[in-house]
Amino acid sequence: MTRIGIILGSTRPGRRADRVGDWVLEVAGRHPLVLAGTAEVAVVDPAEYRLPLLDEPEPAAWGGYRHAHTTAWAATIDSFDGFVFVTPEYNHSVSGALKNAIDFLYREWHDKAAGCVGYGAAGAIRAVEHLRQILGEVGVATVRTQVALDKNTATELFTDPDAWSPSEAQAAGVNLLLEEVVTLSQALRQRPIPAR
């Protein structure tokens, strides 16, 4: 079974990440790979871990975590084979909370796959480009497909999230993204882990 975590990229009150993440989970729940038992998907909300601004005294690559919040976050991320990041765009990049959550860890991200669902005025395309660079540095391989929800194609998401009704084309994008993430996750899982 390939486990995919849907990482919510905002902890801000009033965020839309939870609404988008729930939709991604709903679409994924109908995906043939999930229905066949090949993959399972779960939402991961960094807000639940209450991570402070990075407070580990050693670099994450050394793996010497000293704080309970870090070890709890590490155990959760380590339990997944791949990820779908749901990210807003703040000042042409990802939120500080998402960058901080990534920076806490290293090995737990390494040699895993990820896809991105962005939302914002321009579909968070600039945030996703930054996120790809950040993920590459911690050893996460990103897939080509991304889903961009902007103010023209997902108007209600920004004005009345409860009334938002995603299109079939948007759901098809999530399905393709998930298939790519699962396939790449399975391939990376077969790769031998190098010694430290």
Residue numbers of the domain that contains 116: 2-189
pLDDT, residue 193, reads 59
- Which H, E and C letters describe the chain, residue by residue? CEEEEEEECCCCCCCCHHHHHHHHHHHHHCCHHHHCCCEEEEEECHHHHCCCCCCCCCCHHHCCCCCHHHHHHHHHHHCCCEEEEEEECECCECCHHHHHHHHCCCCCCCCEEEEEEEECCCCCHHHHHHHHHHHHHCCEEEEEEEEEECCCCCHHHHHCHHHCCCCHHHHHHHHHHHHHHHHHHHHHHCCCCCCC
pLDDT tens-digit readout, 79-107? 999 999 999 999 999 999 999 999 999 99
Our count of domains for the chain comes to 1
* Residue 178, domain member (yes or no): yes
Domain-embedded: residue 27: yes
Decide if pLDDT at 194 tops 80.
no
pLDDT for 34 equals 97
Instruction: Assign residue 22 the CATH number of its domain.
Output: 3.40.50.360
Confidence of residue 184 (pLDDT cuts 50, 70, 90): very high
Residue 160 counted as domain residue: yes
Residue 196 lies in a domain: no
- The pLDDT value recorded for residue 49 is 97
pLDDT (0 to 100) of residue 122? 93
Q: Percentage of the chain with pLDDT > 70? A: 97
Residue 88 covered by a domain: yes
Q: What mean pLDDT, rounded, does the chain reach? A: 95
